[in-house]
Every structure is written in C-alpha cells, then in structure tokens.
Structure 1
Amino acid sequence: MRVRLLFILFFLFINIKTSAQKNNYSVDLIPENLKTNANSVIRDQKDLIEIISISKVNIKNFKAITVFNKNGLSNIDAFEYFDKSRVVKSIEATVYSQAGVEIKKIKRKDFVDVSVAGDAGDITDSRVLHLNYTPTEYPFTLVYESEVETSNTAFLPKWYPINDFEESVQKSEFQISFPSDLGFKFKEINFEKDTPIQKKESVNKLIFSIENVESKKLEELSSYEFPYVIFGLDRFYLEGVEGNAKTWKDFGIWMNEKLLLGNDEVSEETKKKILELTSNTSDIIEKSKIVYKYVQDKNRYVSIQLGIGGWKPMLAKNVDRLGYGDCKALTNYTKALLKIAGIDSYYTIIYGDRDKKDLIEDFVSMQGNHVILAVPIDKKYVFLECTSQTEAFGFQGNFTDDRLALIVKPDGGEITRTNHYIDFDNSQITKGNIIVNDLRSISGNVQLKFKGNQYVYVSHEEFLTPEKLEETLKYRYSHLNGFTFNNFKVENNRDKVEFTENFNLSVKDYLKEINGEWVMNVNVFNQNSNIPKRYRTRKTGFKITHGFYDEDTIEILIPSNKKIIFKPEKIELENKFGKYLLEITILNDSKILFTRKLLLKKGKYESTDYELYRQFREQIAKSDNSKLILK
C-alpha cells in the first residue's frame, strides 16, 4: 500500500513538473533583461483574425502575461465586447504561480457581464465580458483565451506589439487572412528602425511578429508613440449595410447616403420656432449663433451606442421630442435646424481628446471617436461643439482643436485641419492692487481674464454654487495660507470667448518676520513651482501639447513706516521653449509694480533638448519665489 502511495505521489510530481515545463510559465524562464523595469511581461501572444467574407470575421486571441506588481494588472486586458452582431464564442483564463503551476481556472461563467454604459445616462445595446481577478501573490502568470465572431468588417482589430511603458515582450504574433476581392489594406504606424518587427506577406495572409523587446521606461512629458498596425477593407459591412472606403470621397458619399440622408426631419412647431428666431437677421453668423443657442438651451448630452454600430445618429425628430442625444445626434440635430434657417453645415468626424490625435489621412477607414459640426462661413469653417450646453459659439478648446478631421458632404468626404490657437491666444491676464498692512497681512482686489484654451478651464465657474466656487479658488491659491475672498463676480463673454473674474481678497500673515525684517513673496497669484523630473540619460523626446501666455501686473502698496531694503533684479529668459520676464519697479516710496510674463510654446522636441527645458522651468520656479524685504 505504501509503495503504491509513493508511486502515486511520484506520478503527480512528474505530471506537475512536466506541465510547468510544457507551458513554460515559470517566472524563472523569463530572461533577466526582460524583467528589468517591467511591471509585466508578455510571455506569448497570438492573435488570429480570419476575414471569411465581407460580413464575417472570426477573431481568436491567446495571451500569456506575467504580472510582477499591481501596476501591471491593467495590462492583462482580459475582456470582450458583444452585441447582436458580435458573438463571444468562448472565453476563459488560467492563473499560474511563480513556479508555473496552475492555481486557478476561470471559466466563462466567472467573467463579469456588464453593460458598456458608463453611467445611468448612457444608452447602449453593447455589453462586455471582463475578468475581475484579484491576485493573492506576485508575480503570477495569467493565460487568457477567447474567440469572437462578428458580421461587422468596418472595424478590424489593430496590432499593438508593445502595449505600455514598463512592459516587456517575450513573443507576440498577429496573423490575418482575407479574401482577395475586398480590397484588404494595412498601414504601419510609428515603426522605427530599431523596433525588431518581422513581417511575412503572402497572397491572402499577413503575419507580424516580435520577440524579446525590453520594457521602455515612462519619462515625463514623453512624446514617444508605440508602434501599431491598422487594417481595413475597401469594401466593408456595418450592421447590414455595405460600405465603400476606397477613397475619402467614396467614404463620405457612403456615410452621407447611408447614415445621414433623410435624418433631418423635426416637428412643424420647431420649424416655426427656428424661422421666427432667425427672421430678424440675414447674417449667417448671427443666424448660426441663434440656432446654436437654441440647441444648447433645449438639449442635453447622453452617450448613445445604438443603430449602425453606434455610428448612425438618432433621428432628428427624436432628439427634438426627447431633448437629449449624443455627439452624433446633437450634431445632426443642429445641422437639421441650420438647414431650416437656410444655412449649410456638415457632419464632421474627429478624434476628441486633450492629447491631440489626427485622423490618418492616407488610410481611408472608419476612424474617430467624436462628431462636431462644420459651418462654412467666408471661405473657412466654423466648428461647433454640439454636446456642450455652455460652450461659446465657434470655440473648440483643447478637445478638438488643431487636428485632421473628416467633413462629410453630399459629394464626398473632405479631410481638413480644425482651427488652432497660437500660444498667445491661450492667455491669462491678471491685474490687481494689493495693500500690505501693519500686521503683515495683505488685502486687495484682482481681475483675471482668460482666453483660448485657458478659457476652457474656468468657464464652468458661472454655474458653480458659492460653496464649490470657494473650494475651486482655495485649491487654485492653495499656496496662500489663510486666504479668504468676497465680492466674487464672473462674466462669460461668449462672443469674445473671454472669461473674467473679479474678487476682493485678504491673506493673514502673508509676510514673514525674520530678525525684524519683513519678507514678502511678490508673486502673489501665479507661482509656478512645477519642475520637470531630472534624468541622468533621457531616452525619449518630449512635447508641450498646448502653449500659453500669462501676464501679471500687480501694484503693491507698502506701509508708510516701512522701506524696501532689497528687491530682486530684473529677470529675463528666452529660448526655443518660450520667454519669461519678472520685474519689480519702484513707483514711489510706498508703491511698487510687479510684472511677470510667461510664454510657453507648444511643440515636439528631441531628448537632447530636455535638460535645457528642465533648467528653463527650474529657473522660472526659482524666480517665481523671489522675495522683497522691508524694514
């Protein structure tokens, strides 16, 4: 009996050892160079995409990933979307220990099934199965497998050989097969000479692969963009509708005819209202402003992912009746109302994000994640953000500015660049008067004017409660201990796209007393303490996505029994990144003028420029902390 038991134990040990060796999921088998600075390592990844016909795609995914810490959990990506046209045929996962021993099997029923709706206001028929796994130890390896079938060929999976900073790749392969009559195409994005990507092409098959890529460390302000490959078809299928993406002209015609045409009916009551509101002017801009304001006052934004893959706008008459819609619906509704007023406008597809992203101009396909409206006025386009109830007419802000977009016209699509704001346009102008009293406290009044992208950050203040407003200002001026304010007034000039704040303030014990002398930081309102991180060897380039201009002029009145015994010298800095000026002018024995100007230029810069930029910001932070001494 004992011999038999020993035999069984030996057999089990051999099986476990053999299984671990077969799967190669022991963490010890990962090369040391791939573990360095890595939160996770892709051990093996295989994506198999089979385009069977214009209306059928089969997608198989296999991914083995070793996670070293909680920062690597987000790289697991074990989820699948599904709806009436996308079926999850299988989905499962297996967890292995550090030694490569299986410790948990996760079946389909263990995946969480939830709606894609982000909140209660979203409307969608899409759902997602996702893995909700909490590890008991690190490191561990998770193997994820799934198979999905969809009738939509408008959106084909992309290949991202490297998914994230601080993630290494041991092996990854992407294989896609396709019929020869659909106009298959692909484009390699951000491929660099030192990226070891292999490609094999045959008549109806394409294979990309990569091996042994070390993790890339995340650096502050990095402009590095990961390589990826996009795929598409000239002839595609979207929720029962065949499409044409051979040229942007063809694609625009298809989109206009299949998604927009006949979708502009509203009630007779609304028609009469629009004609009545616009009857007193023939000016296109004024009429457009009236219609835009009408839409803002009447409707609210709700995310909707119904219809043709979430791309077909809700009927204008339904928006008219319900008073809500998503970006597609509200844009189409505004377009319909402008048509009633006799104004042409065009549905425009774009990537909406504060980190600018262009549509890929030389790759015709379904792209973008947002829709705005283009109104042709005086041989240029005015772009309208139709989801906002507060946005100024024609103002885009940093969510849709300065990027390539697709304008959909009846005679075809047109790629154009949206309006951009030069650095000086994004301004914050501060003017004020400060009085220093005998108790080392300060009081006074200040006015701030915000324009361009700086307008975006404050324009919502007109709708804040007094409590929220106080919270906002105290956060902004958190460097002022004992800060209080009153008589706060705001003006939102939507015609000029300019937001103005006026308020009175007081700060107790603002000046510090040291050995009988009073020390004052003369830069009361706009202290910039942000200094970019220092790197011994900077690897990646960096970017300043949006430039800006700040100007402060503050008159400071000091007590008559005090004299200035020290003031900072004038400081001027200028280089490729911008300009900085700080100057203190003595107007008379009891009054000084503080002047500060900072221009920061947007742009992309080489890694070799980073230390110069860091020093520039360090000098600004030091100067912003300049002291005035009174006695």
Structure 2
Amino acid sequence: MTFCNKLHLILFMFFLISIDPAKGRNKTDYNVSRISHLLLKDADAVIRKKNITFNVSDRKSAYSKIVTAVTIFNQEGRSFSDLEIPYDRFKKIKNIEGCIYDKDGELVKELDENDIIDVSDVSNSSIYDESRLKKISLHYQMFPYTVEYSYEEEIEGYVQWPVWVDQETLDAVEYSNFVVTIPSELKLRFWCSQDSVKPTITLKGDEREYVWESKGLKKLSNDVYGDNYEDFATVVRIAPNEFEIDDAEGDMSSWKTFGKWYHDLCKGKDNLPDKVIQEINQLTLAAINPLEKIEMLYKYLQKNNRYVSVQLGIGMWQPYDATYVYEHGYGDCKALSNYMVTLLSKVGIKAFQVLIKSGNARFTFIKEFPNQMFNHAIVCVPMEKDTIWLECTSTTNSCGEIGSRNENRQALMITPEGGVVVRTPKSNSNKNVQIRVTNASLKSTGDLVLATSILWTGNQKATISSFVEYATPREIEEWISKLVTAPGLNIGSHKFIKDEKESVNKFNLNITLLRYGTPGNTRFFFQPSIMETRRSVPTEVDKRYSPVKFNYPYIDIDTVRFTVPDEFIVETVPNNVAVNFPFGKFYSKTTVINNKSILYERYLEINNYIIPPEEYNEYRRFIQQIVAADRAKAILIKRN
C-alpha cells in the first residue's frame, strides 16, 4: 500500500471515529476554559446557549425545539440544574434529553427516563385542569459543571406563540438565538423591544426563516438593572394573524378582531334560571341608583361563589355559562366575570369582560402589536360619570377595588363589536393607607409592653386580607414577628377585624419586647421607631438603568406614646426630621410630655408607581435619611 493510500485510510478512519455519536457526545464546547473572562466575573452561572427553533406548519399546527446549556459554578447557581416543561392536550412533549458535563467538557451523566417526573400542574384552587408538568433535576457534586437539556414540542391548536428573551435573568449569556420558520403564504408579525435589533430573513423554498441572536452578554447587577427582564433584555414577540384552537377560528390582526373572537366564544353563556332573575331583581329593588345595584350584586357574587380554576380544552379560553356558576357556586376568572356581567345585565346594567395581564410586574402592553398576553379576566361597568371595575375572584375586595395586580395597566375590554384597549385606574397614596397607633409602656428592666391597633385601607387592606384569609396561626405569628425590629418578642392576644361598612381592616395586638431598651446605672437608651423600620440603604451605583418600582403608591403613619418608668426622666430625644422629594416624603417628630411620656410620630409616603432611573440617587438619599431617623435613640436619665 502506498504512503498516500495509507494516509487516506488513516484520515477516513479518523473521520468515522469523529462522527460516532457515542464519541461525539463526549466532545463539546462546554469546557469552562472556553468561556470569556468577561462573562466569568462574579458568575454563579453562565448560560452557554439558549436556542429556540419554532416551525409553523399551518394556522393551527406548529413544532418547536428548545436547547439550553448552563455552566454552574456554585450552590447559588444550582437552580439552573432544574427544568420544568408545561404541557396540555394542545402541546405534546417529545425527545427529552439531558446531559451533565464536567469542567473539561467531558460527558459524566446522561438523563435517564426515570429522572423525568410527570405531575399535574394543578393549584389548590383547581378541580378540572389538563395542565401537566414534566420535572427534571440533573445535579453533579463537583463545581463547575454544565447541564444541557433539549426537548421538542408538537402543538395542535394555538393562540399564543413563544416569546424570546435573550437574557431572562441577570446571569451572563454566551449565546442565544431564536429561529422562526413559517410558510410563505402565512404572515408572521413580530415586535422587538430594541429598535436596533433586526432579524436575518431568508427565503428557503416555500418557507421564510427569521433569525434573532445575541452573544457575549455580561452579568448584570440588580442594583443597576433591577430584576424585570423587560427593563434590560432584548425581547421578541411573534404572533399570527389567523389562528385556530379546538375548531374555533380566530383573527389576531387587530385588537378589535381578537376581542371579537373572544366575545363570540362567550355567546350563549349568559343564561340564568327565571328564579335567579327574580331573586336578584328583588334583591336590588331597594337600590336608589345603579351604583347601589352594582354593590349589591357584587356582594351577592362574593357571598355565594368562590374562585376555582377550570382548565379543560378550549375552556382555557371559553367560560362556563352563568347557570353552571350559579348551580355549582364556583368558577374561574372567566366564568365569574361572565357571571357578574350576566347578573348586571338582568337588572338593566351594561357591563363588559376585560382581559388583562395580572401580576405584580407590569409587562409592556404593545398597542400596535395585537398578541395573546393575558392571564386574567375582570369586569368593567361604564357609568354616566364614572367607571366601576370589579375583581370577581376576590371574596374580600370592596366594590370597585381591583387590587394592585390589576390596576394602572392597559387591558382589552370585550364588546359585541370587538376588543377595545382600555386602561385600568391608578390608585393614589391616600387610598392605600396603613395607620398604626401604639401605647408603649417602658419598664425599668428594659422590657417594652405594647398595645397596638392597626388600620388598613385600599391595596394595603387587600394585601393583608388575602394573607389573613388563608394564613395558619403559625404564619400569623411569623408575620407579627416581622412587624417589630427587636428580638425578645412575646406575642399576647391579637384579633383581626374586617369592617365592611368602613371598607377597612383592623388588627389589635398585644406584645412584649424583652429588654428592648438598654438600662445602665444612670441612663436608659431605646429606639422610638419600633414598627418595620428601614434597615438598609440601596447600593450606590455609577448609573442606574432601570426604574425603582412599587406595587402601588402608599402612606404609612405611626404614632407611639411611650410611658416612662417613674424613676427616670427624659434627657434626650431624636431630632425632628423632614424630607421631601418629588416621589415621596418622610417626617418623624418626637415630643416630650411633662417628662412622663414621649410621643413619637412617623409619616412615610410614596406617591407614584415608579421612580425613574435618573432619580435613583435622590431616592437613595431619601432612604439614607429615613434609615438614620429610624435608628435614632432616646435617652432617659435616673432622677436624683
């Protein structure tokens, strides 16, 4: 055999070895040494790749493949080893694969079928639900290591297409891409949060391919960028014009047509037995105006119904009819909202369902880009001089209160003519108030005996109502322990009171703080600010890129009257403090009364939902002054 022939044979054998699947899986680009040093700074994990491929077959069928790989450096990054894949009867999951690679990129473990746990994705408030989860956890004992997952989705019937976020967390990203393929006869609509980011579009036969990609994204700081990816990442949303789910054809080319599709799903769902119609008309007979009728029927809904998730087939979209809700006494947000609209219609009041993206984070509503982004339904009742909004899943809200998770955001009102973009109301700080009045008796031992009364209104009331309604006695005690800033807490009696007439909640509490003060031979030191004081200042940064966000504007008012032990008189109290910024104000005032008692007053107001990034340094100074005021001490001295 000639030298050339031998060389060809060697090269050919090397080629066969190199393409052997078993061998190939051991050789990857996951060697940790390949990661740029720019991505390694302060890294708990680095996303090596996140690839989403989405292929549209027709207006009801699609296929996607997701591949992720994350290098994990320490315990804080171990959550990336876990994967949850949701699915239902419209989405089938196939070909799940997983591997672990060591720091050198060598394969050390492959996913076994027994590692995949299939569970129902049903909350405690669900009784009928087809949603399920495939849960996987692949862990390795030696850091750093890399976890790679891949799986495929077959979709039959869709309303919502995937969203691509190039940096979903603050962690560094080596490479991420989004590949969308669609038949040429179908239209792909897309929206990108960054105007400068454009897809690469390629015509491939009778299909068009769109590709977005990002690479080399450094780890971000929460103090600089916040924790909402919409404030720092590139976000790409895609949507169809025409779609079909469970034989229900729809048009998403405009908010009007999308709303019309949902309205048509609800047709015929507004029937009630005659006895119910007679009952509610009799109930509202004494009402002197439409508002009183709305209040009566809202209380009727709350008294007789509860929220239960019902997610079957197109039931994820189509509500159960009003008669079903009446007979069973429960429904999900869609069913309860439809029921409320039906009740109002039977007494001559026109109301509409509203689809909304509910949650603490206010995601961008893109008016020029109709797409499915909603997860909740509420009710809008237009009035001659005002509009009433109703959260129908709550048994504790007052009429007109929709809660911080629904307020101050755009939504889609469903009318017979189609969808109409509306904005839910904002709340003012003087609507969301917490008032605490405390009588505090100081003992010469340093103990402090407290009798506190707390009152909440608006969103502060709604938040505490939701908590108290489901909290265990132990959770209540844990919550009480967070109200004060000192150790040595002994909890006495406590009682929660719901005042429906005044639309407030109250809480009476008796506690003792052991050795709250520090008695010396001649002097006694203690901190007048007792309840939930500010303990830390936001981190100083060169430049802030995202706003500081609040769930709602609010006011907190504290009044504490301290009774001084007989053997002491007041020597020193904290200076009065007054701080005023465009986004809020704070003051604290300490008054000595006849050397026998001290009156401490504290007021904190945040008057908006966001503080722009350019005002971050002012916000930081604001908090600095509050922390200093809250830490200030009073001094008592023994009588001669």
Cross-structure match for 1:35:
40
Tell me what 2:359 maps to. Answer: 353
Distance 1:31 1:462 in 2: 50
Alpha carbons 1:219, 1:540 under 8 Å: kept: no
**What is the aligned counterpart of 1:425 among 410, 424, 431?**
431
Deviations 1:591-612 (A, max 9, x none): 4432221122435445564344
Deviation for aligned residue 1:173:
2.2
* Candidates 525, 533, 557, aligned match of 1:527: 533
Match of 2:317 in 1: 311
Match of 1:236 in 2: 243
In structure 1, give the amino acid aligned to 2:216. Answer: N
Q: Could you tell me which of 292, 298, 301 is aligned with 2:307?
A: 301
CA distance in 1, matches of 2:354, 2:565: 60
Q: Structure 2 vs 1, CA of residues 102 and 461 (structure 1 numbering), >3 Å: closer, same or farther?
A: closer
Structure 2 equivalent of residue 407 of structure 1: 413
* CA distance 1:256–1:95, shift in 2 (3 Å): same
After TM superposition, the score normalised by the length of structure 1 is 0.88
The amino acid across from 1:199 in the alignment is P
Q: Which amino acid aligns with 1:150?
A: I
**CA 564–410 in structure 1, closer or farther in 2 if over 3 Å, else same:** same
For residues 535-571 of structure 1, give each alpha carbon's deviation from its aligned partner in whole angstroms, at most 9, with x where no partner exists.
4545533413233212223333435553222122221
Contact 1:556 1:592 in 2 (8 A): yes
Q: Within 5 Å, which residues of 2 pair with 1:182-261?
A: 182-189=186-193, 191=194, 197=197, 199-202=199-202, 204-219=208-223, 221=226, 224-257=231-264, 259-261=265-267
Given the alignment of the two structures, is residue 90 of structure 1 paired with residue 98 of structure 2, yes or no? no
Three-state SS of the structure 2 residue aligned to 1:129 is strand
8 Å Cα contact 1:430-1:449 kept in structure 2: yes
Residue pair 1:407, 1:413 contacting (<8 A) in 2 also: yes
* Distance apart, 1:119 and its partner CA: 3.9
The amino acid of 1:474's aligned partner reads S
CA contact (8 A) 1:25 1:96 kept: yes
Matching of residue 111 in structure 1 with residue 116 in structure 2: yes
More displaced 10-residue stretch of structure 1: 535-544 or 407-416: 535-544
> Partners of 2:491 and 2:149 in 1: how far apart?
56
Q: Give the Cα separation in 2 of the matches to 1:490 and 1:80.
A: 41
1:172 — aligned with what?
176
AA matched with 2:106 = V
Q: CA deviation at 1:478?
A: 5.3
Distance in 2 of aligned mates of 1:466 and 1:541: 39
Cα distance in 2 between the residues matched to 1:19 and 1:466: 57
* Counterpart for residue 4 of structure 2: none
What TM-score, normalized to structure 2?
0.87
Q: Distance in 2 between matches of 1:328 and 1:35?
A: 47
Residue 60, structure 1, aligned to residue 65, structure 2: yes
Q: CA deviation at 1:466?
A: 6.9
- Cα distance between partner residues in 2 of 1:90 and 1:513: 69
Shift of 1:469: 4.7
Offset at residue 260 of structure 1 (A): 0.9
Against the structure 1 CA distance between its residues 354 and 120, is the aligned structure 2 distance closer, same or farther, given a 3 Å change threshold?
closer
Offset, 1:336: 1.9
Q: Report 1:120-199 matches (<5 A).
A: 121-169=126-174, 171-189=175-193, 191=194, 197=197, 199=199
**Inter-partner Cα distance in structure 2 for 1:407 and 1:521:** 51
Give 1:362 shift.
1.8
* Amino acid aligned to 1:584: T
Farther off after superposition, 224-233 or 180-189: 180-189
Partner SS for 2:122? coil
For 1:23 and 1:471, locate their aligned partners in 2 and report how far apart those are by CA, in whole Å. Answer: 49
Partner of 2:3: none
SS for the counterpart of 1:38 is coil
Residue matched to 1:72: 77
Matched residues in 2 for 1:606 and 1:282: separation? 45
The superposition leaves residues 426-471 of structure 1 with CA deviations (integer Å, 9 ceiling, x where unpaired) of 2212334444455554446443221222212323577577776555
CA contact (8 A) 1:327 1:372 kept: yes
Q: CA deviation at 1:377?
A: 2.6
Aligned: 1:44 with 2:49: yes
**Distance in 2 separating the partners of 1:430 and 1:148:** 53
Which amino acid letter does the alignment assign opposite residue 296 of structure 1? Q
* Alpha-carbon distance in structure 2 between the residues aligned to 1:213 and 1:361: 29
Structure 1 residue 328 displacement after superposition: 1.4
Q: For 1:145, what is the secondary structure of its paired residue?
A: strand
- Quick check: 17-26 or 303-312, which moved more? 17-26
| Paired AA for residue 245 in structure 2 | L
Amino acid at match of 1:253: K
**How far is 1:493 from its partner?**
3.2
Q: Which moved more, 1:171-180 or 1:599-608?
A: 599-608
Shift of 1:522: 2.0
Taking the TM superposition and a 5 Å limit, the aligned residue runs for 1:334-345 are 334-345=340-351
User: In 2, distance between residues paired with 1:402 and 1:616?
Assistant: 25
CA contact (8 A) 1:37 1:166 kept: no
Q: Which residue of the partner structure matches residue 556 of structure 1?
A: 562
* Partner Cα separation in structure 2 for residue 56 and residue 43 of structure 1: 30
Paired residues of 1:174 and 1:208 also in contact (CA < 8 A): yes
Q: In structure 2, do the counterparts of structure 1 residues 136 and 362 end up closer, same or farther at CA, with 3 Å as the change threshold?
A: same
Structure 2 partner of 1:616: 622
Measured in 2, the distance between the counterparts of 1:49 and 1:471 equals 47
Counterpart position of 1:4: none
Deviation at 1:530, TM superposition (A): 3.7
Distance 1:253 1:93 in 2: 43
Question: Structure 1 residue 231: deviation in Å?
Answer: 0.4
Deviation at 1:367, TM superposition (A): 1.6
The one-letter code sitting in structure 2 at the alignment partner of 1:83 is D
Q: What letter matches 2:199 in structure 1?
A: K
In structure 1, the residue matched to 2:106 is: 101
Q: 1:38-71 CA distances to partner (integer Å, 9 max, x unpaired)?
A: 3333333432222121122121223333233343
Q: Which residue of 1 aligns with 2:546?
A: 541
For 1:232, give the aligned amino acid. A
Amino acid paired to 2:134: L
- Cα distance, 1:395–1:29 mapped onto 2, change above 3 Å: same
Bigger drift between 82-91 and 226-235 goes to 82-91
**Residue 246 of structure 2 aligns to which amino acid in structure 1?**
E
Question: For residues 539 and 579 of structure 1, what CA distance do their matches in structure 2 show?
Answer: 22
Deviation at 1:358? 4.4
Structure 1 residue 383 corresponds to structure 2 residue 389: yes
Q: Distance in 1 between matches of 2:157 and 2:408?
A: 31
Contact 1:541 1:610 in 2 (8 A): no
- Structure 1 Cα separation of the partners of residues 317 and 588 of structure 2: 52
Contact 1:358–1:405 (CA under 8 A) maintained in structure 2: no
Amino acid at match of 1:384: L
**Which stretch has the larger CA shift, 94-103 or 104-113?**
104-113
Distance 1:368 1:397 in 2: 17
Residue 226 of structure 1: how far off its partner (Å): 2.1
For this pair of structures, how many residues does the alignment match? 615
Give 1:73 shift: 4.0
Counterpart secondary structure, 1:619: helix
15, 21, 24: which one pairs with 1:19? Answer: 24
SS at match of 2:435: strand
Q: Is the alpha carbon distance of 1:45 and 1:431 closer, same or farther for their aligned partners in structure 2, counting shifts above 3 Å?
A: closer
